[in-house]
Amino acid sequence: MKQAVPLSYQVNEIILGSLLGDGSLKVHKGYKNARFSFRHSDKQSEYFYWKAKMLKEISGNGDVFVQKPDGFSANNKLRYQSRALQMLTELYKLTHKRKTFTIRRKWLNLMTPLSLAIWWFDDGSLITNSRKGVFCTDGFSKESVEILARYLNKVWGIKAHVAPINRQRFDRKNQYWRLWIRSTDELKKFLRIILPHTPQSMLSKVILLYKDSQLQQRWISEVANFSGIDQHAVKKAVDQKKSGWKAFQRMI
């Protein structure tokens, strides 16, 4: 019997982070083993291909393809789908219960800074003039989001808060639970963890904005030092973000 080749740490890290964001593991009808897939808008093509490139060991021919708009967006979607592999099935069993993706500390404890980075780039956003943050955990129950909050606090020392948000969807209003980082200091602690795994295409998700030029330059230097991205590129991204941020003038 052919022995399954273990997944590399990098692939494991990426998949675990993606499962909290835009990724999924699924055993398709007629197949014995699971496949990993994710998709992004074609506007995020640089990030999409950056992630797909790191998954070569589970990729096959035709692993990337384009999907037409699905009604929620006018943009085409880029979709990645891996080969069906036994080791992906093992990861599926770890992260799913009765064929349903389930958030448990058992596998959250396997996540790394790269996993956190993927989760943030997939579903995290800077808010309040880029001084606070939120994870859009709309697809998870309140109990699951509370597990995530405790995990961030216990393992990474990041204080996050669980709070509801009401959204109109179709003809009804629904309540969802999100994970909020309400302190700039806590947000900076989190960003420093993921900065070494930040591609240049995702700079906008790690840039904090300040009115004070010295504070702004200090953060530009931190981003450049931690990420390894050229400081001029970081400064350019800051300028672009400021020019497009309508609420910047109302910053506290």
Where exactly does CATH 3.10.28.10 map onto the chain?
A: 9-102, 113-250
* CA nearest neighbour of 80 among 116, 46, 108, 55: 55
Q: pLDDT tens for residues 209-242? A: 998 999 999 999 999 999 999 999 999 999 999 8
DSSP H helices, the chain, are 9-19, 45-53, 86-95, 105-108, 113-123, 142-156, 184-194, 213-227, 231-244
What value does the mean pLDDT of the chain take?
91
Higher pLDDT, 6 or 136: 136
CA distance 23 to 12: 12
| Contact assessment for residue 89 and residue 33, using Cβ atoms and an 8 Å cutoff | yes
User: Which superfamily, per CATH, for 113-250?
Assistant: Homing endonucleases (3.10.28.10)
Confidence band, pLDDT 50/70/90 cuts, at residue 243: confident
Residue 67 has pLDDT above 90, yes or no: no
pTM: 0.91
**Fold category of 9-102 in CATH:** Endonuclease I-creI (3.10.28)
The whole-number pLDDT of residue 248 equals 46
Q: pLDDT tens for residues 117-127? A: 999 999 999 99
Tokens of 125: 């956003």
